Structure 1
Amino acid sequence: MIVDIETIDEFLTHRTSDVEEAVRQAAATEIMPRFRQLAAHEIDQKTGPHDLVTDADRKAEQYLTEALTALLPGSAVVGEEAVHADPATYDAIRGTAPVWIVDPVDGTRQFVHGDSGFCTLVALALDGVVHASWTFAPARDEFATAIRGRGAVLDGAPLRSGSPVTGRDLDIATSHPDYTTDEEKRALLGLRTEGVVPRPCGSAGLEYLAIARGELDATAFSWEAAWDHAAGLLLVEEAGGAHLTLAGEPFRITGGNALPFTAARDAATARRVVGLLAAGA
């Protein structure tokens, strides 16, 4: 089945709420019953002690894979856990079919530790462009949706990122040191300057939501995995924000970005953060 942009537009006009329901059901069925109830055998390490996976991640991704492809026949899924098992599946992002980009539990470390700071992320992309996104923080009962050109909402209320308060230090969430190269570490050191307050990030999806709702000024991230960024970047865009890579270009979910990159409450702040990163590099 060939799915083009007109088909995507029609789908988003009539089926957005069905996607939301699928996300909510995945959380209700596979994630929340395991929250603060995980046994040791349900938790594994992937690449190290900060990179965890649980039965909730795996089963929620399986649930969403089946539900989302049923909603949009002809679509593919790029999910964090499936890519970990078979890296070649990531190539679907660069293909011609519409692709669902799924992070079943973004903030698995927080989830494992019983902290509410995790979420489920789903984005729908075609030809490298994200057209819609769904961000659900089930332990906080917060649901944000963004549709390209139609705005962003949180629990039905419009989201507007606004601009940082003049004269106040910039609050910036940054990459964890374990996930940065030496060159990226040098760039991030550019944020350690007067007027900026950097801190380690938590769930990337919730950091993007914080920007979209005007509670965080910017991020500075140094990894490209689309499941962490696709949903949140559209949410920020549709709330009035912007994102730029170290090369001064918008972030591309298909990869090949100059890192680190930033998402910010407005375009001026994005340029300011990139300037600081470039100075550090």
Structure 2
Amino acid sequence: MSKDRMISFPDPAAVIDIMRETAEAVILPRFKSLESGDIQEKTGPEDLVTIADIESERRMTPILRDLLPGSSVVGEEAVAADPAVLDNLTADAPAWIIDPVDGTRNFTKGNSKFCVMVGLVHKRQPVLGFILDPLGERCAFAVRGEGAWMCGYDGKEERLSVLAPRPSSKMRGALNFRFLPSPLKEEMKERAETEVGDHFRFGCAGHEYLSLLTGEAHFAMHPKNMPWDHVAGSLMHQEAGGFHARFNKRPYYPDQLDGGLLMAPDEASWDDLREKLWP
């Protein structure tokens, strides 16, 4: 990684250390060990929060803020308690974005598809992004303008790149229809069965982004743009050579919570997928 950046942000290794220490201290000890009182509903039975989410965000918030003096923090659980915290996304100061446990429902079920995500936004642009897979002992990260990398717990780093484009019928990817309105949802599901190749859903945006970065998938679609789900991954995807945009093909900004996101290997394949999936 280049040490000379136009803007001085923290060393990625320092952020990865914070995420690893947090996962080892408060997340992994609770994996497959949650008690009934450790899980709560937020907006409903599909929207859960655990003691691991709460404690990991609480632990990382002051440490990240101290790592970059003058920065703010936008955590998923902090926003759940006070939506005004989202205003930090459009402030002049850099803002850390924390998803303390992405894939919380998987985590509560003992499913290994969960991760920790941290991003840094400055002037509405993602500039740093991290996805920690603690069970896989790996962390993907990206620095704006410098590429995307996978760092193993053994210290080895590998540069990441997206798969080469293919016709949509031969691509594999993640499709999330959950927040689409009817009848659009049903129509898109039907088109997906005939117009695109194999598709899946992990229930964890972070692992779906990892699949784009490690040669397991060509594309991903998400109807909802919560910043903690997409700031880190969208930057990595871009730095790995991919193309992404909102469903109307306008650029993605972290403060825009609607409009969806579609990821593809390049712009031409994005156009192809957009045409094939939407009625």
| TM-score normalised by length of structure 2 | 0.90
Q: Does 1:181 align with 2:181?
A: yes
Matched residue of 2:237: which SS? helix
Kept after mapping to 2: 8 A contact 1:143/1:154: yes
Shift of 1:209: 1.3
Shift of 1:20: 1.1
* Number of equivalenced pairs: 270
| TM-score normalised by length of structure 1 | 0.89
Distance 2:225 2:168 in 1: 32
Cα displacement string for residues 180-203 of structure 1 (whole angstroms, at most 9, x for unaligned residues): 323652573443333433333421
Q: Does 1:100 align with 2:96?
A: yes
Cα pair distance change 1:199/1:96, threshold 3 Å: same
Cα pair distance change 1:8/1:111, threshold 3 Å: farther
Matched residue of 1:228: which SS? helix
Q: Does 1:270 align with 2:270?
A: yes
Distance 1:185 1:211 in 2: 23
Aligned AA (1:235): M
1:218 corresponds to: 219
Matched residue of 1:191: which SS? helix
Cα pair distance change 1:182/1:201, threshold 3 Å: farther
2:41 corresponds to: 45
Identity of aligned residues (%): 35
Distance 1:63 1:23 in 2: 10
Shift of 1:244: 1.6
Give me the CA root mean square deviation. Answer: 2.1
Cα displacement string for residues 6-50 of structure 1 (whole angstroms, at most 9, x for unaligned residues): 9983224xx221111111111111101111111110011112222
Kept after mapping to 2: 8 A contact 1:242/1:270: yes
Aligned AA (1:101): I
1:162 corresponds to: 163
Q: Does 1:126 align with 2:122?
A: yes
Cα pair distance change 1:219/1:164, threshold 3 Å: same
Structure 2 stretches of 5 or more lacking a match?
152-156
Kept after mapping to 1: 8 A contact 2:116/2:132: yes
Kept after mapping to 1: 8 A contact 2:168/2:272: no
2:154 corresponds to: none
Distance 1:126 1:49 in 2: 34
Distance 1:72 1:65 in 2: 11
Shift of 1:242: 1.1
Shift of 1:275: 2.0
Aligned AA (1:240): G
Aligned AA (1:169): K
Distance 1:193 1:170 in 2: 12
Kept after mapping to 1: 8 A contact 2:227/2:257: no
Structure 1 stretches of 5 or more lacking a match?
1-5
Distance 2:48 2:168 in 1: 39
Aligned AA (1:262): L
Shift of 1:214: 2.0
Matched residue of 1:116: which SS? coil
2:75 corresponds to: 79
